[in-house]
A and B are shown apart, each in its own frame.
Chain A
Amino acid sequence: MSGDHSTYAPRSGFTKWIDTRLPLPRLMHDSFVSYPVPRNLNYAYTFGGILSIMLGLQMLTGIVLAMHYVASTDQAFTSVEFIMRDVNYGWLLRYLHANGASFFFLAVYLHIARGLYYGSYKAPRELLWILGVVILFLMMGTAFMGYVLPWGQMSFWGATVITGFFSAFPAVGDWIQRLLIGGFAVGQPTLNRFYSLHYLLPFMIAGVVILHIWALHVTGQTNPTGVDIRKKTDTIPFTPYATIKDALGMSVFFLVFAYFVFYMPNYLGHADNYIEANSLKTPAEIVPEWYFLPFYAMLRAITFNLGPINSKLGGVLTMFASILVLFVVPWLDTSKVRSAVYRPVYKVCFWLFIVDCLLLGWCGSQPPQGAIVLTAQLGTLYYFGFFLIIMPLLGLVEKPRRLPNSITEAVLSRRQTSAGRPAGATAAPEDRG
């Protein structure tokens, strides 16, 4: 895909001099200007760009916050309050960083959902997808450790509960838990190392992001039809077409983000984290940040022993498996058709899966009693059923709709059919998803 579309022509003597020594401007031009993208990309395809901006923003705000934060159990909580009250624009930087984490996850979940809907994980994009799951893993680790740093009640008890997961493993569990927290309970060594790793992991994410984009530019983007690029009219250059679409998507996304930062900065947080950590008093209910709630619900859904696996270990394994299963999605889906647009049954299962994730998230936010437990158990069942049963079997029995011969044909036929209809009801929605 890359290489054969290079239109880069250095004009001045200086750019020619650079081009023969380190052709970085050529690489940038070929990757982000003349790079061909499918002509039918919709707004679901703008989250990749949004995510790279979010990563940059988190690193920028994080680095300046680190100039004022103190990673000590005596001072961490007060240093955060000091950032909020005394540091110039400290409130803005911290609210950007804290809400930035939430919006980073919002964007990544939409990005993943787009991938699941349009079959972006299918050959030849398996490695591209796996690198994405690696990024999600690193993001989760980074977010968890970052949440511990303000050293509030939720920070402390969240860290206690999450590192407690590892004690569920037989024989080596306690050893691993002590290795992670550097003591017998969460304390100074834990805070210090989490700070160090919270600073490190975003740079590792940035590294994997570069691999992710590299893999993307080798295979090229998917598109809402899932049909491969066949001819020149199927594509348009990245700049100005995709660039401007991405820019509009970003603007809208950042407007919503700004609304949260300026008008409801604590809406997504938990009030208990404004109480300093107390190792002798557990909050009435421990709840993770919203983006972990579906996984938390699955952890708590396993209330029964499964043979030799007790309920605690079972819950922990279920939670880890819920993310690990994403790694094998390219091989679980047996359908030859990429896009859900042409898969009528998969489309329904997909939207049920989205509803299921939201339902699990709601269960995770509620105290685990009565009907909530049963709902979470059924939700967990569908979550795994979607990946392990629906994906492999549906590809064998589902009858997909007829695929267009090319992207161009899909786009042009849509234009013709919409000519006679009133505006607004235009365009077969199935071609856009």
Chain B
Amino acid sequence: MSEHETTADSEHEPNRRDFLYLATGMAGVVGAASLAWPFIDQMRPDASTLAAASIEVDISSLEKGSTLQVKWRGKPVTIRNRTDKEVQEAKDVQLSDLKDPVARNANLDANADATDINRSAGKGKENWFVMIQVCTHLGCIPLGEQGEFGGWFCPCHGSVYDTAGRIRHGPAPYNMELPPFDLTPGKTVRIG
């Protein structure tokens, strides 16, 4: 019987079985591929996680030199009313001294320079500073007002950030990120 089929296989004209073989095979592949997607997609952030993507914070009581920490998307966001000294120190840094010269500010162009003004809340609001307080190395939470530059210091692997949250030295590759935000000085900030 097997002999019968092997000789037939190589020589015969395409018949109904060949057609069915191809058609069911293709249907199976397409079906399996499209069914696989929901199984992968269910693992991505769900609707409730995405819905909690925006928060509004009252910053009226935030004096100069004080910091507020809020949780946004499960991560700590630091809101700091920087002192004039901190702003001045950050302004004085040359771009060429920075390990990462990109602003990493979600409110600006993706390749904007990491100048202090680009890292702050913008012109006239230079003292206001909103940043995701997560080390860009492996996701630890750096400690505020510490380290060589009086900015942030990550206790995990020793990354040092300045008062504008820019990486100065240590294993972290990038400046800490700034979330999308809308800030009214002395009133509120909307994050997300």
Chain B positions 13 through 40: 1 when the CB is less than 8 Å from some CB of chain A, otherwise 0: 0000000000000000000000000001
Question: How far does the Cβ of A181 sit from chain B's closest Cβ, in whole Å?
Answer: 9
**CB contact list, B140-160 vs A, under 8 A:** 140-141, 154-158
Q: Which of B68-76, B79-87, B112-120 contacts A (4 or more CB under 8 A)?
A: B68-76
Which label, helix, strand, loop or mixed, suits the secondary structure of the A interface?
loop
Residues of A within 8 A of B155 (CB): 282, 284-285
The interface residues of chain A lying within 8 Å CB-to-CB of B76 are 279-280
Tell which of B156, B171, B173 touches A282, judged by Cβ atoms closer than 8 Å: B156
**Distance from B137 Cβ to chain A, minimum over Cβ atoms (Å):** 7
Check if A183 is an interface residue, CB within 8 A of chain B: yes
B141: contacting residue among A180, A182, A282, A368, CB under 8 A: A282
What per-residue 1/0 map shows which CB atoms of A144-166 lie under 8 Å from chain B? 00000000000001001100110
Contact B71 A157 (CB under 8 A): no
Of A92-100, A186-194, A267-275, A322-330, the segment with at least 4 beta carbons within 8 Å of chain B is A186-194
Residues of chain A within 8 A (CB-CB) of B154 are 282
By the criterion CB–CB under 8 Å, are A311 and B156 in contact? no
Are A182 and B49 in contact, with the CB atoms below 8 A? yes
Known A182-B44, A280-B141, A303-B171: A189·B49 in contact at CB below 8 Å = yes
B172 to chain A: closest residue by CB = A312
CB distance from A18 to the nearest CB of B (A): 33
Is there contact, CB below 8 Å, between B157 and A184? no
What chain A residues lie within 8 Å of B173 (beta carbons)?
310-312
B49 A164 Cβ-Cβ under 8 A: no
Nearest CB on A from B177, distance (A): 11
Q: Does B139 contact A (CB under 8 A)?
A: yes
Is A185 located at the chain interface by the 8 A CB criterion? yes
Which range contains the number of A residues in contact with the other chain?
Answer: 20 to 34
Residues of B within 8 A of A161 (CB): 138-140, 156
Is B46 located at the chain interface by the 8 A CB criterion? yes
B45 at the interface (CB under 8 A from A): yes
Determine the main DSSP class of B at the interface with A. loop
Q: Are A184 and B45 touching (Cβ within 8 A)?
A: yes
Q: Does A338 contact B (CB under 8 A)?
A: no
Residue in chain A with minimal CB distance to B133: A280
Bound: A161/B137 CA distance, A = 9
**Per-residue CB proximity of A362-405 to B under 8 Å, as 1/0?**
00000011000000000000000000000000000000000000
Contact across chains for B40 and A179 when beta carbons are under 8 A apart: yes
Taking CB atoms, residues of chain A closer than 8 Å to B156 are: 161, 282, 285-286
Does B43 touch A at the CB level, under 8 Å?
Answer: yes
Pair B74/A186 contact, Cβ less than 8 Å = yes
| Inter-subunit contact A282/B45 (CB<8 Å) | no
Please judge, given known A-B contacts A161-B138, A282-B155, A368-B157, whether A184 and B43 are in contact too, CB under 8 Å: no
> Residue A281 at the B interface, CB < 8 A?
yes
- Measured CB to CB, the closest approach of chain A to B121, in angstroms, equals 22
Question: Chain A residues with Cβ under 8 A from B46's Cβ?
Answer: 182, 189
Asked if A198 is at the interface (CB within 8 A of a chain B CB), the reply is: no
Chain A neighbourhood of B139, CB < 8 A: 160-161, 164, 167
Interface positions of A from 252 to 297, Cβ below 8 Å from B: 279-282, 284-286
Do A193 and B43 touch (CB < 8 A)? yes
Residues on the A chain within 8 Å of B140, using CB: 157, 160-161, 282, 286
Q: Which residues of A contact B73 (CB under 8 A)?
A: 183-185
Minimal beta-carbon separation of A308 from chain B (angstroms): 12
- Cβ of A178 under 8 Å from chain B: yes
A312 to chain B: which residues have CB within 8 Å? 137-138, 171, 173
Contact of A184 among B40, B49, B141, B158 (CB under 8 A): B49
* A residues lining the B interface (CB < 8 Å): 157, 160-161, 164-165, 167, 178-180, 182-187, 189, 193, 279-282, 284-286, 300, 303, 310-312, 368-369
Q: Can you report 8 residue pairs joining A to B where beta carbons are below 8 Å apart?
A: A165-B138, A180-B43, A280-B71, A280-B141, A282-B140, A303-B171, A310-B173, A311-B173
Extra pairs beyond A179-B44, A187-B49, A303-B171 (6, CB < 8 Å): A161-B139, A183-B73, A184-B74, A281-B141, A282-B140, A284-B155
List the 6 shortest-distance A-B pairs measured between CB atoms, nearest first.
A185-B74, A184-B73, A282-B140, A164-B139, A161-B138, A282-B141
